[in-house]
Structure 1
Amino acid sequence: MLFFRHPALLLSILLIIDLILIVSGINAGKKLGKDKEKKKKSKSRLVATVPGDIILGGLFPVHSSGAVKCMSLNPERGIQRLEGMLFTLDEINNNSALLPGLRLGANLRDTCSLGNHALEQSLDFVKTTVDDVMNEPKEQDKMCVCPCAPGGVPYCPGGGQGMPGAAMPHPTSWSQDIVRGVVGGSYTTVSILVANLYRLFKLPQISYASTSAVLSDKRTYPLFARTVPSDVEQARVMAALVAAHNWTYVSTVRSAGDYGDSGMDAFWKEADKRDVCIAAREVVRGSSTSNDLDEVVRVLRYGFSKARVVVLFTRMDHTKLLLDAVRRANHTDHFVFIGSDGWGRENIPVLNNSRVANGALTIEILATEIDKFSTYYKNLRWDNTRNPWFTKFWQSLFGCTFDNSSTQNDVPHCEVTKNKRLGDKLPEPFKQEAKIQFVYDAVYALAHGLHNLQQKLCPFDPDPAKWDKNECIRKLLAYPGDKFYKIIISTTFKGIFRAYHI
């Protein structure tokens, strides 16, 4: 019998086996390919694509999850953050000084706020690499067969026509499916799962929201970076806030999982340094029911009644469940909550719970709103087709339908909204989602990394006789991912808020 001391090693082995089975299935026949295409049409397999020379992947929680996977839309953390990446790509592609001669494209996926679902989506990011490994080309396949470069341009790097090029990659690697780096995920559980996959295929990853200190371990996550600080900093601020108010006896509630566990562990250590005693140490799990939350509130209220201050390191949905339970128990004026950025300035936990949340202090990572994005977002119209989830969002926001066969006579057709802008239905003043800046910075970090790599491998020259675009793309795609990651993290650029160093 085999025993694995390192879960990451076991996960890696299982991933490799899974990938081999997937690729074997892909190559098994056309029928499976057709079935896969049908599956992609389901809402969980939709893809937002932007054509380009170099493709970046993106992972966003477009849908939340509950009893049903991919349940309801996440307007702020899902739709708005995804549009933040699309906006940033537009800005980069309109800047001739950054990646001159090349355009960035995108392949953006919905994680449905679940790690396993994000892993399924991420398999497509590495599929081309896996295909190359599983289908090692024969010598004759390495011959230059035109067209063998993007755009159908004949290209024979080895010299004369028909001569094999020593550095010529397998033709499938010219596919637009190749992803050079990934922006995401949002939740720590998502980022950890996909980081294990990306490590196997040397695919750099930059998260805009995953703050868990667990991800700081470079031995386990060597290709992970982020544009937000870790929870250690957040925990230090929360402990200092508690101590500053002379609250020396507090209870804690955390979400089970890497975000809540590592964040709360850091808070306990910081609280101990400041002589703050911990009363209840409650946990909200993914399987927790309303009855479970009622029991948590009972323990907080009657088991440790003197600890009126409750520190939360909980996900937004768990925060909502807890506040709902406090309201049901009619303890609306008893607790003072200190919330992590899992609550932040989100409105969802406070819905129907304004009295419960009255007096709460929540932490949010300092960020600057991007005025140009707000203008872009408010001016979006119904025909924003590059975001495949936007139609559903529009229908929900405007209370209409694009379905001509709809039997719901009381729901107007969205034809009446075709002269509207998104801003016509958004609250005024418009509140930009708290981590849009960090999405923006993550995309720019990859773009500047690619720019520096381009300067190293194939500096742009406007004279086509001196600069081969297809050769440059080939070099950028063939460059080892682990070495590209080192270029990214050594890159310094001026972001919206400050000079940024990943």
Structure 2
Amino acid sequence: MWFTLNICLYLSFSFILAASILGSDMCQLQGHFRLNGMYKNGDFIFGGLFEVDFLTVFPELSFRTEPEPPYCEQFDMESFQQAQTMAFAIDEINKNPNLLPNITLGYHVYDNCVMLGMAFRAAISLASGTEESFSNLNCTGPPPVIGIVGDSSSTASIAISSILGLFRVPIVSHYATCSCLSDRKKYPSFFRTIPSDAFQVRAMIQILKYFGWTWVGLIYSDDDYGIYAAQSFHQEIKLFGGCVAFSEILPHDNNHRDIQHITAVIQASTARVMVVFSTPSFLIPLLDAVVLQNMTGRQWIASEAWATSLVNHAPRLLPFLRGTLGIAIRRGEIQGLHEFLLRLHSSNDPKNNMLRIFWEKMFGCSFETGSKKTDGEQVKKVCTGQEDLSTTDTPYTDVSELRASYNVYKAVYALAHALHDLMQCEEGRGPFHGNSCADITNLKPWQLVHYLQKVNFTTGFGDHVSFDENGDALPIYDVLNWQPSSDGSIRVQAVGVVKEEAATGMVLTLDDDALYWNFEPKQIPRSVCSESCPPGTRRASRKGFPVCCFDCLPCRDGLISNTTDANECIVCPDEFWSNKDKDQCVPKEVEFLSYEDPLGISLTTASLLGTCFCALVMVIFTHHRNTPIVRANNSELSFLLLVSLKLCFLCVLLFIGQPQLWTCQLRHAVFGISFVLCISSILVKTMVVIAVFKSSRPEGKSALKWFGAAQQRCTVLILTAIQVVICAVWLSTASPTPHKNNKYIRSKIVYECAIGSVAGFSMLLGYIGLLAAVSFMLAFLARNLPDNFNEAKFITFSMLIFCAVWIAFVPAYVSSPGKYAVAVEIFAILASSFGLLVAIFAPKCYIILLHPERNTKKAIMGRDIQKK
């Protein structure tokens, strides 16, 4: 019953409250937030969100009264400088007659206390205003602010842009780098003057690539900034060819056990390079553990979130963090900012409580509120110290490293240029519906977003400012190196620049001489899982390990690798082969039987000796041509046989030397014709011997008339002509040609004569074999003729040698590779030629030279006479 009564009372109260609001025709503010801020009135107001305080205090809760709103403490001078830079930029724009003439800009700047809830409250206050009520039943009208500079946190920017993006309120962040904010569908009105983490990661990859660090540890904070940066890093390092040795996340609650686990992983890892994406608040506990465990010998790579953070520069960290390489947002110079910061005085405007807090922290001032006047409360300031900013040395007055503040300056000018372009629109030529322009008296935020997308200007420092289709600024970073200074602290030294270029992409420029390394002997550290594979080898992955862990295997013969860390060996072209180191393809050795080759020299010598022996025998036979033994052995056929043998010996020279078209065509033709001439002469000689002995018998008187001199010449000519025809047909249809053969030996080119036609070559050899077989048969049948005149016995022996040589030649020729096949053929020619020369002519020369008493008709005919 009481529950029902309470519901009824609540509904009645709500109805009465709603009726009173509707009856008053007023829009009323539904809530109030306690926010530190600065204000300045103007025709158009820019909003600002900055991390001026680092601690949010929540008052004690009471269920009896409405809870007090949280408030901020721990004032940060560097962040306050960023807020003052926004005030300076607006003041500078108001004084510029060329930018927004006759327009005065104002600002509402709030402190977000490095907390999402406070940042969201501040953003809602900027978007809705802080007026108690205004007379408009539809709650419409010009927005309190037309654009917001901030937030500096990626997490806060994601939340704020998700809501204010629905109303297309332009937000230009000076420090939010999460790559997720580049999604135009989710964040249609978000812009930034700092490059996104996608570019930051690529910039850090350029540093790793420059020093050859492929084996790195990754540490990142448990927030949107760290998580998205780590995801991008994993993707980019694979493209670079590097590997992440381990990936550890820094806990948001600074859990001691988690920190110990991370330090244990770092110590156990072989990686010497640690890449850290984190804000200082997440990183400090890990650095404390590094100092506690005396963990040296690591090269730290700092993301832009902590690369310039002074909180990490304490002397206790010097032995561990000196030599750190990091990237930072572009440092700039703002003329007149230092003087503006020094001119700051406490405001009598009670709304500017951020200034009051500044004086309290700076000089111990307190403020007393006097009586109310028509223009507000009178505030009296009492300070314990002298108010002179020029004598103080604080992050607030330090303008030597303007990075975040420089981005704030660019963000304010980007909004101002967008507003200026909007006001320059000519009616009928506008970009909106019906070629209309924006109504200045009722400006819509989305109209400013349109012009902000097209902003294009150059700062006084010379940096170009524009946004791509995702609202990202042109990426450019300074490369920093932490170096020890004389007073024991760490000095951050700029040693290079990384920037994106349209033609070449990310480009890193470093001054190597300016780098400091925290390794002995002050050299660049090595951080690889496996050392690089030199040229001539290839990488072979280790099973179960990342791709950066591999073995180096030498390339096989015929394959090379001419780069470091080649994944595969390259096959050399057909006429090339790998050198000894397997890093170059060199022309293959061309192999043929040359005159410089020892084997070629030996065979050439044997050929010339055989020719000389033939010539010597011819001289002997010529000199003793009238002796019975020369005349009895058919001197004409003997001389023809000697000439053909000489040609057989000389044709060997065509087989030696680099093959040419003419030598390939001649070698087998000359060889075939010479041997046919030789064998046909022996065949006719054998037939004549048989005919002579048959004519000595009564039944064979008429046999000799068929073997006269004319018939002998004609027979030799006809038999030789047949071989000539075979050679002519062969050469005209499928002529032998020079050929580079890679099949015998892969590492060499065998330069040989391709026979062209196997049938032609077989017919050539077969015809020679046929004549030799017939000669052998006839000589064998005549072997029992009288010894003193039995030349058939010598012919039989010579044919036996000839046939044995050429029968052995065939298998030896087929099985011999390269130049040795040619050598086998030459050997067969020489052996058979020498066999014919020695077997037929050596006995005769023996008698002529050593036993001239036997070189008589009586001695030759002696046995026959005795038989008679």
CA distance in structure 2 between the aligned counterparts of 1:128 and 1:404, rounded to whole angstroms: 28
- 1:362-401 → structure 2 map (5 Å cutoff): 362-383=326-347, 387-398=352-363, 400-401=364-365
Quote the offset at 1:403 in angstroms.
5.8
Is the Cα–Cα contact under 8 Å of residues 309 and 338 in structure 1 kept in the other structure? yes
User: Alpha carbons of 1:356 and 1:491: their partners in 2 closer, same or farther (altered >3 Å)?
Assistant: same
Number of corresponding residues:
414
State percent identity of aligned pairs. 27
Q: Which residue of 2 aligns with 1:445?
A: 414
Give the partner amino acid of 1:436.
Answer: S
Quote the offset at 1:393 in angstroms.
3.0
CA distance in structure 1 between the aligned counterparts of 2:57 and 2:218, rounded to whole angstroms: 26
CA distance in structure 2 between the aligned counterparts of 1:133 and 1:266, rounded to whole angstroms: 47
Is the Cα–Cα contact under 8 Å of residues 338 and 360 in structure 1 kept in the other structure? yes
CA distance in structure 1 between the aligned counterparts of 2:245 and 2:342, rounded to whole angstroms: 46
Q: Which residue of 2 aligns with 1:73?
A: 75
CA distance in structure 1 between the aligned counterparts of 2:175 and 2:228, rounded to whole angstroms: 15
Q: Give CA-to-partner distance per residue, 1:35-65, whole Å, 9 cap, x none.
A: 95xx65x4xx122111001111111111124
* RMSD between aligned residues: 3.6
Quote the offset at 1:478 in angstroms.
2.3
Is the Cα–Cα contact under 8 Å of residues 63 and 71 in structure 1 kept in the other structure? yes
Q: Which residue of 1 aligns with 2:104?
A: 103
Q: 1:340 aligns with which of 300, 303, 328?
A: 303
CA distance in structure 1 between the aligned counterparts of 2:177 and 2:46, rounded to whole angstroms: 22
Asked if residue 310 in structure 1 is aligned to residue 274 in structure 2, the reply is yes
- 1:57-136 → structure 2 map (5 Å cutoff): 57-65=47-55, 70-76=72-78, 78-127=79-128, 136=137
CA distance in structure 1 between the aligned counterparts of 2:141 and 2:98, rounded to whole angstroms: 27
User: Alpha carbons of 1:216 and 1:133: their partners in 2 closer, same or farther (altered >3 Å)?
Assistant: farther
Larger deviation, residues 202-211 vs 382-391: 382-391
Quote the offset at 1:376 in angstroms.
1.7
Quote the offset at 1:272 in angstroms.
1.4
User: Alpha carbons of 1:63 and 1:334: their partners in 2 closer, same or farther (altered >3 Å)?
Assistant: same
- 1:26-37 → structure 2 map (5 Å cutoff): none
Q: 2:207 aligns with which of 201, 224, 241?
A: 241
Secondary structure class of the residue paired with 2:74: coil
- Extract unaligned runs of 5+ from structure 2: 1-16, 59-69, 370-380, 428-437, 468-868
Is the Cα–Cα contact under 8 Å of residues 294 and 329 in structure 1 kept in the other structure? no
Q: Which residue of 2 aligns with 1:46?
A: 36
Q: Which residue of 2 aligns with 1:323?
A: 287
Asked if residue 277 in structure 1 is aligned to residue 243 in structure 2, the reply is yes
Is the Cα–Cα contact under 8 Å of residues 29 and 131 in structure 2 kept in the other structure? no
CA distance in structure 1 between the aligned counterparts of 2:173 and 2:406, rounded to whole angstroms: 12
Asked if residue 420 in structure 1 is aligned to residue 392 in structure 2, the reply is no
Secondary structure class of the residue paired with 1:453: helix
CA distance in structure 1 between the aligned counterparts of 2:419 and 2:354, rounded to whole angstroms: 29
CA distance in structure 1 between the aligned counterparts of 2:252 and 2:56, rounded to whole angstroms: 9
Give the partner amino acid of 2:203.
Answer: V
Q: TM-score, normalised by structure 2?
A: 0.44
Q: Give CA-to-partner distance per residue, 1:322-362, whole Å, 9 cap, x none.
A: 2122112222x232210000112121122342222111111
Q: Give the number of the structure whose alpha-carbon radius of gyration is greater.
A: 2
Quote the offset at 1:255 in angstroms.
1.2
Q: TM-score, normalised by structure 1?
A: 0.74
Give the partner amino acid of 1:120.
Answer: R
Is the Cα–Cα contact under 8 Å of residues 254 and 260 in structure 1 kept in the other structure? yes
Asked if residue 56 in structure 1 is aligned to residue 46 in structure 2, the reply is yes
Is the Cα–Cα contact under 8 Å of residues 378 and 423 in structure 1 kept in the other structure? no
Is the Cα–Cα contact under 8 Å of residues 93 and 104 in structure 1 kept in the other structure? yes
Q: Which residue of 2 aligns with 1:221?
A: 187
Secondary structure class of the residue paired with 2:114: coil
Larger deviation, residues 253-262 vs 53-62: 253-262
CA distance in structure 1 between the aligned counterparts of 2:458 and 2:125, rounded to whole angstroms: 32
Higher relative contact order (CA 8 A, sep 6+): 1
Is the Cα–Cα contact under 8 Å of residues 382 and 418 in structure 1 kept in the other structure? no
CA distance in structure 2 between the aligned counterparts of 1:196 and 1:119, rounded to whole angstroms: 11
Quote the offset at 1:431 in angstroms.
3.4
User: Alpha carbons of 1:362 and 1:28: their partners in 2 closer, same or farther (altered >3 Å)?
Assistant: farther
Q: Which residue of 2 aligns with 1:354?
A: 318
Is the Cα–Cα contact under 8 Å of residues 332 and 401 in structure 2 kept in the other structure? no
Larger deviation, residues 339-348 vs 125-134: 125-134
Q: Which residue of 1 aligns with 2:178?
A: 212
Secondary structure class of the residue paired with 1:59: strand
User: Alpha carbons of 1:196 and 1:29: their partners in 2 closer, same or farther (altered >3 Å)?
Assistant: farther
- Extract unaligned runs of 5+ from structure 1: 1-22, 138-169, 406-412, 459-473
Q: Give CA-to-partner distance per residue, 1:385-421, whole Å, 9 cap, x none.
A: 67522333333334x242679xxxxxxx963545412
Secondary structure class of the residue paired with 2:118: helix
Asked if residue 232 in structure 1 is aligned to residue 201 in structure 2, the reply is no
Larger deviation, residues 281-290 vs 84-93: 281-290
Quote the offset at 1:298 in angstroms.
2.0
Asked if residue 487 in structure 1 is aligned to residue 451 in structure 2, the reply is yes
Give the partner amino acid of 1:48.
Answer: M
Asked if residue 295 in structure 1 is aligned to residue 264 in structure 2, the reply is no
CA distance in structure 2 between the aligned counterparts of 1:487 and 1:132, rounded to whole angstroms: 31
Give the partner amino acid of 1:124.
Answer: S
Is the Cα–Cα contact under 8 Å of residues 56 and 113 in structure 2 kept in the other structure? no
Quote the offset at 1:382 in angstroms.
4.6
Q: Which residue of 2 aligns with 1:146?
A: none
User: Alpha carbons of 1:29 and 1:109: their partners in 2 closer, same or farther (altered >3 Å)?
Assistant: farther
Q: Which residue of 2 aligns with 1:475?
A: 439
Q: Which residue of 2 aligns with 1:7?
A: none
Q: 1:256 aligns with which of 213, 218, 222?
A: 222
CA distance in structure 2 between the aligned counterparts of 1:436 and 1:192, rounded to whole angstroms: 21
Larger deviation, residues 487-496 vs 425-434: 425-434
Give the partner amino acid of 1:173.
Answer: G
Is the Cα–Cα contact under 8 Å of residues 202 and 236 in structure 2 kept in the other structure? yes
Secondary structure class of the residue paired with 1:283: strand
